[in-house]
Structure 1
Amino acid sequence: MSDDLAMLLGTQETTSLEFKQSAKDRDKLSKAICALANDLAQKGGGHLLIGVDDSGVPVAGVDTSDDELLRLTEIRDSGQVLDRPSMTVEVATFAGKPIVHIEVKASGTPPVRYKGKIWVRPGPTTREASRDDERVLSERRRALDLPYDSRPLSTATLGDLDLVLFRSDYLPSIVAPEVIEENGRSIEQQLSSLRLADSADAVVRPTVLGLLVLGLNPSAHIPGAYVQFVRYSGTGFDAPILDDQEMRGNLVGTATRLAAVLRGHLHTRLSEGDGFREEKKPDYPLDALREVCMNAIMHRNYENSNAPVRITWFEDRIEILNPGGPFGQVRPDNFDRVNDYRNPSLAAAMKSLGYVNRFGRGIGRIRAALEANGNPAPEFDVDTSSWSVVLRRAC
């Protein structure tokens, strides 16, 4: 932004404008970004200015280097603020002095949480949300044009969800322990707050996210919500089939079963190590397989395709096909550098459950794991309706 922000935004903190003298306290910055994304005052988001004191006066010595801007961008990609906020980080001018300007867009799927807690700005300060604040944010979400994974399904009821799994695994992974301890919300309120259910028209129904993560049989309501695994004994589709499985469980069950299947089909080989020592290495690194499969589940198109995620294992390669082409700002020519999310709430859930380590790092992790294991580089084929990747066996 080339204009002076002091003239454009003012010199006093508001519900949508916060000042920080420095970027040293990343915890406070994260809370502020979370609060601005929740946009309690409905300003469309807000602005966080680094290098301005509480009285609206710019300070000297602000780090505006490219490295610092990249470090600040990591707040968005670290996976601690969920759903992942849309924000930009740039150098700007405030009262004639250089500062860092973080512009945060209002979330389309509130409430946003930082480390399991909801933060808001009802005035010129950031604080933890009250129950009423949380209710307002949850109700507001229903009025927005929701991503498919946040929409309720009229064919499903709460009886289609594994509520034991919700209490034992999901709730502790995404909500801070002290919040769970003190909260007296009903199960319906908890599910709605976490986008797993929706109470539109006074009827509580699971959302697409709820069925994908906790569903007893997700594909009964979302036909393409399953993984198909086939293992051939040769290099083509005419070879005998050694194993053929369909995994139709929820995210937790599918991930557990898929990990066991992949491990069961891996073979180890001897590889030359240091000196005269030999090392045992698998045909494919499990880290790369896990990353490819979890990314396929996370990014696939659940709304417009009934095809499953397909994992086809041949003697010399593994092919993973995902029904869902580039989304948002991602294109076939930039998919390995730019990331966007067709299913933002599912991505947040997978991060909380530990199936995704960081946002926007999947392809890099796949390439690094294959290289370290001695495998050829992955071969990606991305078009408008699907993407596939071929992993070649290590020699």
Structure 2
Amino acid sequence: MNPARDIALIDQLRAEPAEAAWLEFKGNNTDPEMIGKRCSALANAARVEGRDMAYMVWGVADETHAVTGTTFHPDTRKVGGNQVLPMWLANSLTPSIAFSFRVVDHPEGRVVLLEIPAATGAPVAFNGVPYIRIGSATPKLTDYPERYQRLIERLQPYRWEQGMARQFATGDEVLALLDYTQYFRLTQQPLPDNRRGIFDKLEADRLILSDVGERWNITNLGAILFANRLADFDASLARKSVRFVAYAGSNRAATVTHRLDGQKGYAVGFEGLVGYLNALLPKNEYIGAALREAHPLFPELAIRELVANALIHQDMTVTGAGPQIELFADRLEISNPGAPLVKPERMIDLPPRSRNEALASLMRRMRMCEEQGSGLDKVVSACEVFQLPPPLLRAEDNSFQAVLYGPRGFASMTPDERMRACYFHAVLKFLSGDKMKNSSLCARLGIAPKNAAQATAVINKTLEAGLIRVADPDHPRAGYVPSWA
């Protein structure tokens, strides 16, 4: 930790008018049982009070808040004869919390700071008993059902976006590390004419948070979206940059023709990345009413949405991996770490579920992806319009992959692709209030009406696979709908 920040933090805590439910000052009382109960109580009380951290401070008088110094050495304090206090405390608290003892050489004396994260997933218990702080008392939480209920209501699961990418940054460092002008442009807000106005807006979207000593914390959300250089932050965040590789052939053994490792935050670099991809894609010629028209091999809307989907829905807690885009001669593969929260076959019709709701919300505000629940519909629809094979949405061990395929006629599609195209077509028809029929599937697959039996065979295979069903068993010609409809 930063020693200057710890001194500023202690001074800010000393400036509080009195001890609080989330703050306690101690002299040299180092009784382990007392510390264990206080850890539980302060963690739970901090969450009730809407604070992210609670603190115990040794070496500060609880009445005057003057620095008196302490002889407490937490790393050498033994409990039960052979276990150091931090390890004993970690084993006694459930669920485990990332508390931190820090010895601070304050200008006025030696101080020990115990920083305690607020409860997140469940009340924090010491030896199986959760406590709460009320005034100067530390009773059992269960003895105060109204406070217990309030704590349960305020408990929130951990959000990676709320973590800190940089602590104790000066205002100048914030403005140098984040492309704040892009934030205002993309969110369509006027750029304030003063620093205070800039910081207020960034803080309102939780891209930065106020720290001690008139400094700032840059959140993971702020860094991953608006970093000028992700490498300026922790290595684990820098590895979340987008990686692009293009191959001369149809597999990874082919020669690499282009490679790009993203350096900027997602919002700052998104438009450039999509433009770079579209510029590399080969073009197909379509004959319109009078002129030949060149179109990219893959629909731009599909690329844009699938890239945004990979950024938004990745599991940020998977270390050493980030979104990856690979361009082959016949397909485009877009993958991201983390298994999806919705089954791939239901991603078109079910509302999306994201681990990164703040990231998703802000990217939608900046119009980098479609409105909630409509993106993948448009991807599948675009593939139909261009008469491309259906996209493949595939969940693997701890990752998700979306594959766009280049143009191939019905005869060149695999049986699985034909069934997937039939299923997706039935889903799109159902979502538009219609039903799939043999004739509409012929149009989707480019089958001439005289060869309608080919579409019938695909429908029968898809029925056997349980992906679709007859809409009305009493009227089989009424059409087909997804099996879950």
Q: TM-score range by the shorter chain?
A: 0.5 to 0.7
Say which SS state the counterpart of residue 357 (structure 1) adopts: coil
The alignment status of 1:357 with 2:370, answered yes or no, reads: yes
Which residue in 1 is equivalent to 2:298?
284
Distance of aligned partners of 1:273 and 1:307 in 2 relative to their CA distance in 1, 3 Å threshold = same
1:248 to 248, 254, 263: 263
Which residue in 1 is equivalent to 2:133?
none
Structure ranking higher on relative contact order (CA contacts 8 Å, 6+ apart): 1
Q: Is the 8 A contact 1:230 1:241 kept in 2?
A: yes
Distance of aligned partners of 1:270 and 1:174 in 2 relative to their CA distance in 1, 3 Å threshold = closer
Which residue in 2 is equivalent to 1:98?
none
Q: Is the 8 A contact 2:167 2:218 kept in 1?
A: no
What is the one-letter code of the residue matched to 1:194?
D
Distance of aligned partners of 1:347 and 1:272 in 2 relative to their CA distance in 1, 3 Å threshold = same
Which residue in 1 is equivalent to 2:217?
205
TM-aligned CA deviation for residue 207 of structure 1? 0.4
Deviation per CA, 1:66-121, whole angstroms, max 9, x where unpaired?
Answer: xxxxxxxxxxxxxxxxxxxxxxxxxxxxxxxxxxxxxxxxxx9xxxxxxxxxxxxx
Which runs of 5 or more residues in structure 1 are unaligned? 1-41, 43-107, 109-141
Distance in 1 (CA, whole Å) between partners of 2:282 and 2:354 is 34
TM-aligned CA deviation for residue 256 of structure 1? 3.0
The alignment status of 1:231 with 2:246, answered yes or no, reads: yes
Instruction: Show the 5 A alignment for 1:1-395.
Output: 145-154=157-166, 157=169, 159=173, 162=176, 165-166=179-180, 168-171=181-184, 173-174=186-187, 185-199=196-210, 203-219=215-231, 220-221=233-234, 222-274=237-289, 277-327=291-341, 330-332=342-344, 334-338=346-350, 339-383=352-396, 385-395=398-408
Distance in 1 (CA, whole Å) between partners of 2:405 and 2:216 is 47
Structure with a larger share of its residues in helix: 2
Q: Is the 8 A contact 1:149 1:208 kept in 2?
A: yes
TM-aligned CA deviation for residue 235 of structure 1? 0.9
Q: Is the 8 A contact 1:326 1:335 kept in 2?
A: no
TM-score by length of structure 1 reads: 0.56
The percent of aligned pairs where both chains have the same amino acid is 24
Q: Is the 8 A contact 1:162 1:214 kept in 2?
A: no
Distance in 2 (CA, whole Å) between partners of 1:144 and 1:185 is 30
Distance in 2 (CA, whole Å) between partners of 1:183 and 1:154 is 23
Aligned CA RMSD, in angstroms, stands at: 3.2
Distance in 1 (CA, whole Å) between partners of 2:344 and 2:274 is 29
Deviation per CA, 1:33-91, whole angstroms, max 9, x where unpaired?
Answer: xxxxxxxxx9xxxxxxxxxxxxxxxxxxxxxxxxxxxxxxxxxxxxxxxxxxxxxxxxx
What is the one-letter code of the residue matched to 1:248?
Q
Distance in 2 (CA, whole Å) between partners of 1:172 and 1:270 is 35
Which runs of 5 or more residues in structure 2 are unaligned? 1-49, 51-119, 121-153, 409-485
Q: Is the 8 A contact 2:228 2:268 kept in 1?
A: no
Distance of aligned partners of 1:358 and 1:183 in 2 relative to their CA distance in 1, 3 Å threshold = farther
Q: Is the 8 A contact 1:326 1:384 kept in 2?
A: no
What is the one-letter code of the residue matched to 2:285?
L
TM-score by length of structure 2 reads: 0.46
Q: Between Structure 1 and Structure 2, how many residues are aligned?
A: 251
Which protein is bigger by CA-based radius of gyration? Answer: 2
Distance in 1 (CA, whole Å) between partners of 2:280 and 2:193 is 46
TM-aligned CA deviation for residue 365 of structure 1? 1.2
Q: Is the 8 A contact 2:338 2:399 kept in 1?
A: yes
TM-aligned CA deviation for residue 335 of structure 1? 3.0
Q: Is the 8 A contact 2:286 2:292 kept in 1?
A: yes
Which residue in 2 is equivalent to 1:36?
none
Distance of aligned partners of 1:269 and 1:187 in 2 relative to their CA distance in 1, 3 Å threshold = closer
Q: Is the 8 A contact 1:378 1:390 kept in 2?
A: yes
Q: Is the 8 A contact 1:378 1:391 kept in 2?
A: yes
Distance in 2 (CA, whole Å) between partners of 1:295 and 1:279 is 29
What is the one-letter code of the residue matched to 1:196?
L
What is the one-letter code of the residue matched to 1:261?
Y
